[in-house]
Amino acid sequence: MTFEELKLAPPILQAVAALGYTQPTPIQQKAIPHALAGRDVLGCAQTGTGKTAAFALPILHSLLAKPASKKIRVLVLSPTRELAAQIFESFRDYGKHTEIRSAVIFGGVNQNPQTDALRKGVDILVATPGRLLDLMEQGHVRLENVEYLVLDEADRMLDMGFILDIRRIVAKVPKARQTLFFSATMPGEIRRLADTILTNPVTVEATPPATTVDAIKQQVYQIATHQKPVLLAHLLSTLPVSRALIFVKTKHGADRVVKQLRRWGIAAEAIHGDKTQGARTRVLENFKSSRTRFLVATDIAARGLDIDDVSHVFNYDIPHEPDTYVHRIGRTGRAGATGEAISFCGAEEFGSLADIERLVKKKLIQLRADSPEFRERLNNPAAGRAALPDDDAHDHVEAHRSRGARGQRARRPHENRHSHGNRSHGPRDHGPRDHGPRDRAPQHAQGSGEGGADRDSAYEQASAEYFKPVRKEKKREHMPPITHAHALNPKAPGHPRRSQG
């Protein structure tokens, strides 16, 4: 199928051709005809599948057929600022031979340029929910003329605690509208949300995530948590890594990994939700332009980022959600390129690894870290470390920036939830000084290959030997309920809790 066959308007075809798109991606082939026919669309697709054009192109086409109004006719909701900015740029690129005007609004930056843009009149508004609600409350945004509503990365909106905000926003959009709803995963809550927002939608799916990652070499190191920083430094300096995304589970963990790498003279930068918008933009630009080749990211900050040519994805921490693993590693091996995903699995993370292997329907290739260079680094951590006198200064500047940003305004309730949500719910994030099975390092060499029962049992055996079993949480003792009488008078004899001592 070609874009011409989709019967898109000539200015759009011209823009798409100029971008070098030769044919629509599968999600575009599936979604665009329905969207052009005016149907609501429920799209299951992740970043990298071309989903932005899947909703942007038919919307631009439909707007062209209607008289200009300078009123917001399209509202696109995005969970993160970075994704919002990318969607805005895509609308601008695809609509560059049209008069259609777009604007993007998101929090963390001065609102004045955004309200100025809105005052001039826009057809398409791309927004994150928090800033949109702020500007709606201040009277800068009116949604009564919206004809097209897009929700992008709906599952991430849920993760970030935006669902109530979304409902509040959708309640202000006319019911007579066309809605395009995209989500990488479709858990029950997302389906329920979609049911209330969409009318008789067609469901379209990009290739299911578990098969889109087939081109990626997926590997795992069993590694004691305290050895992870050394292994990462070792791999980044010995593998042919052109650009790497390194995923960690906490914001604090991201900063710590960057600091550890810098001590080995490896320049890396972190992107996470505690950075100011300015810092995030700068870090991202550095990475995109390859000024920084290693980006340490939390899932939420990295979600939706369109970064090509990532040769390696490192899962420094194994994600608890197997879907998250698929999203992470999908950042490499894009557009037909091959990519490598390397996961570091600590003792506490075997359960999560098993869930991942079930989802991707394969055992990851197991690697063992015992090359002489790695051992040397491990045994002599000071060797090769760069003295970086600016470490503290750098941290101080970043901390100051973050504090400054936080100090500018009160946090919205969901933002507080978000920062909690981003914290680890799982096993403790051990620091490098935390004790681990130091003296029981992995034994054999790299690349034991894929598949095979022998390999599986060896893996399990090695895992069992290598790591101590995770300590089970002590069961809470049953507390008898406090009776009504004791609630009124806690000193009354026979209080169930006090009687337990």
| Site residues (vs ligand AMP, CB under 6 A) | 21, 24-25, 28, 47-53, 306
Please give the structure tokens belonging to residue 190: 């997302």
CB of 374 to ligand AMP, least distance (A): 36
CB 48 within 8 A of CB 307: no
CB of 302 to ligand AMP, least distance (A): 13
26/3 Cα distance (integer angstroms): 12
Q: Which residues pair with 102 in a beta bridge?
A: 124
CB 290 within 8 A of CB 243: yes
CB of 84 to ligand AMP, least distance (A): 13
* Complex with ligand AMP: residue 51 or 280, whichever CB lies closer: 51
* Complex with ligand AMP: residue 47 or 422, whichever CB lies closer: 47
Please give the structure tokens belonging to residue 396: 């101080």
CB of 88 to ligand AMP, least distance (A): 13
CB of 290 to ligand AMP, least distance (A): 17
Identify the burial level of 117 via C-beta atoms within 10 angstroms of its C-beta, where 0-12 means exposed, 13-18 middle and 19 or more buried. Answer: middle
Of the candidates 419, 275, 337, 454, the one whose C-alpha atom is nearest the C-alpha of residue 48 is: 337
CB of 233 to ligand AMP, least distance (A): 31
Q: How far is CA 97 from the centre of its chain?
A: 32
Please give the structure tokens belonging to residue 252: 């604090």
* Complex with ligand AMP: residue 53 or 345, whichever CB lies closer: 53
CB of 63 to ligand AMP, least distance (A): 19
**CB atoms closer than 10 angstroms to residue 445:** 11
* Complex with ligand AMP: residue 195 or 309, whichever CB lies closer: 309
163/467 Cα distance (integer angstroms): 40
Q: How far is CA 480 from the centre of its chain?
A: 43
Spatial neighbors of 338 by CB under 8 A, at least 6 apart, are: 215, 216, 217
Please give the structure tokens belonging to residue 92: 């601008």
| ∠ CA 224-427-246, rounded to 5° | 65
CB of 90 to ligand AMP, least distance (A): 7
CB of 403 to ligand AMP, least distance (A): 33
Identify the burial level of 210 via C-beta atoms within 10 angstroms of its C-beta, where 0-12 means exposed, 13-18 middle and 19 or more buried. Answer: middle
* Complex with ligand AMP: residue 51 or 272, whichever CB lies closer: 51
Question: Distance of CA 488 to CAs 117, 157, 208, 289, 352, Å?
Answer: 60, 44, 58, 67, 46
Q: Which residues pair with 204 in a beta bridge?
A: 43
* Complex with ligand AMP: residue 309 or 465, whichever CB lies closer: 309
* Complex with ligand AMP: residue 53 or 169, whichever CB lies closer: 53
* Complex with ligand AMP: residue 47 or 227, whichever CB lies closer: 47
* Complex with ligand AMP: residue 48 or 201, whichever CB lies closer: 48
403/391 Cα distance (integer angstroms): 18
The helix (H) or strand (E) run that includes residue 221 is strand 216-222
CB of 331 to ligand AMP, least distance (A): 11
102/118 Cα distance (integer angstroms): 9
* Complex with ligand AMP: residue 49 or 402, whichever CB lies closer: 49
